[in-house]
Amino acid sequence: MSAVAFIDERRDGARMVSKRKNRMYALSEDERCRIVELVIDEFGGCLGFDEFAAVIHGLFEDIPGIETMGADEANHLINLMWSQYHG
Protein backbone atom coordinates (compact mmCIF):
# COMPACT_ATOMS: atom_id res chain seq x y z
CA MET A 1 0.00 0.00 0.00
CA SER A 2 1.33 3.43 -0.85
CA ALA A 3 1.67 6.22 1.69
CA VAL A 4 -1.02 8.19 -0.15
CA ALA A 5 -3.47 5.28 -0.04
CA PHE A 6 -2.84 4.76 3.67
CA ILE A 7 -3.27 8.47 4.40
CA ASP A 8 -6.46 8.66 2.33
CA GLU A 9 -7.87 5.64 4.15
CA ARG A 10 -6.95 7.13 7.51
CA ARG A 11 -8.55 10.46 6.51
CA ASP A 12 -11.77 8.67 5.56
CA GLY A 13 -11.78 6.85 8.89
CA ALA A 14 -10.74 9.85 10.98
CA ARG A 15 -14.30 10.49 12.13
CA MET A 16 -14.33 7.09 13.80
CA VAL A 17 -11.44 8.00 16.10
CA SER A 18 -12.58 8.44 19.68
CA LYS A 19 -12.98 12.01 20.81
CA ARG A 20 -11.43 11.27 24.21
CA LYS A 21 -8.09 13.05 24.40
CA ASN A 22 -6.08 9.99 25.44
CA ARG A 23 -7.33 8.08 22.39
CA MET A 24 -7.13 10.91 19.89
CA TYR A 25 -3.81 9.78 18.48
CA ALA A 26 -4.36 6.06 18.78
CA LEU A 27 -3.47 3.88 15.85
CA SER A 28 -4.81 0.37 15.74
CA GLU A 29 -2.39 -2.53 15.67
CA ASP A 30 -3.36 -3.08 12.03
CA GLU A 31 -2.60 0.56 11.17
CA ARG A 32 0.77 0.37 12.92
CA CYS A 33 1.60 -2.85 11.04
CA ARG A 34 0.64 -1.27 7.73
CA ILE A 35 2.85 1.75 8.42
CA VAL A 36 5.77 -0.56 9.24
CA GLU A 37 5.12 -2.53 6.04
CA LEU A 38 5.10 0.74 4.11
CA VAL A 39 8.47 1.73 5.59
CA ILE A 40 9.92 -1.68 4.69
CA ASP A 41 8.56 -1.43 1.14
CA GLU A 42 9.91 2.10 0.65
CA PHE A 43 13.17 2.02 2.64
CA GLY A 44 14.01 -1.62 3.31
CA GLY A 45 14.51 -3.35 6.61
CA CYS A 46 17.93 -1.99 7.56
CA LEU A 47 17.21 1.51 8.87
CA GLY A 48 18.70 2.53 12.17
CA PHE A 49 16.40 3.82 14.88
CA ASP A 50 17.01 7.51 14.13
CA GLU A 51 16.36 7.02 10.41
CA PHE A 52 13.26 4.96 11.14
CA ALA A 53 11.95 7.59 13.57
CA ALA A 54 12.50 10.36 11.01
CA VAL A 55 10.57 8.42 8.37
CA ILE A 56 7.70 7.76 10.80
CA HIS A 57 7.60 11.42 11.88
CA GLY A 58 7.34 12.37 8.21
CA LEU A 59 4.43 10.00 7.73
CA PHE A 60 2.71 11.27 10.88
CA GLU A 61 2.69 14.79 9.42
CA ASP A 62 0.54 13.54 6.54
CA ILE A 63 -1.99 11.57 8.60
CA PRO A 64 -5.02 13.61 9.69
CA GLY A 65 -5.43 13.67 13.45
CA ILE A 66 -1.91 12.37 14.00
CA GLU A 67 0.05 15.35 12.72
CA THR A 68 -0.63 17.40 15.87
CA MET A 69 0.26 14.82 18.51
CA GLY A 70 2.78 15.65 21.20
CA ALA A 71 6.29 14.27 21.41
CA ASP A 72 5.44 11.73 24.14
CA GLU A 73 2.62 10.17 22.13
CA ALA A 74 4.70 10.17 18.94
CA ASN A 75 7.65 8.54 20.71
CA HIS A 76 5.39 5.87 22.19
CA LEU A 77 4.00 4.98 18.76
CA ILE A 78 7.45 5.06 17.17
CA ASN A 79 8.81 2.70 19.83
CA LEU A 80 5.91 0.29 19.26
CA MET A 81 6.49 0.34 15.51
CA TRP A 82 10.28 0.05 15.94
CA SER A 83 9.70 -3.18 17.85
CA GLN A 84 7.69 -4.49 14.89
CA TYR A 85 10.22 -3.23 12.33
CA HIS A 86 13.33 -4.39 14.13
CA GLY A 87 11.57 -7.34 15.74
Summarised one tens digit per residue, pLDDT across range 35-79 is: 999 999 999 999 999 999 999 999 998 888 787 888 899 999 999
Report in angstroms the alpha-carbon separations of 57 from 16, 19, 20, 44, 50.
Answer: 22, 22, 23, 17, 10
pLDDT score of 22 more than 60: no
In single-letter form, the type of residue at position 10 comes to R
**Is the confidence at residue 11, as pLDDT, over 60?**
no
Return the closest-CA partner of residue 60 out of 48, 50, 71: 71
The pTM score is 0.73
Domain regions of the chain by residue span: 3-12+27-86
d(C-alpha 6, C-alpha 15), whole Å: 15
> Which among 43, 71, 72, 41 has a CA at the least distance from the CA of 55?
43
5, 17 contact by CB (below 8 A) = no
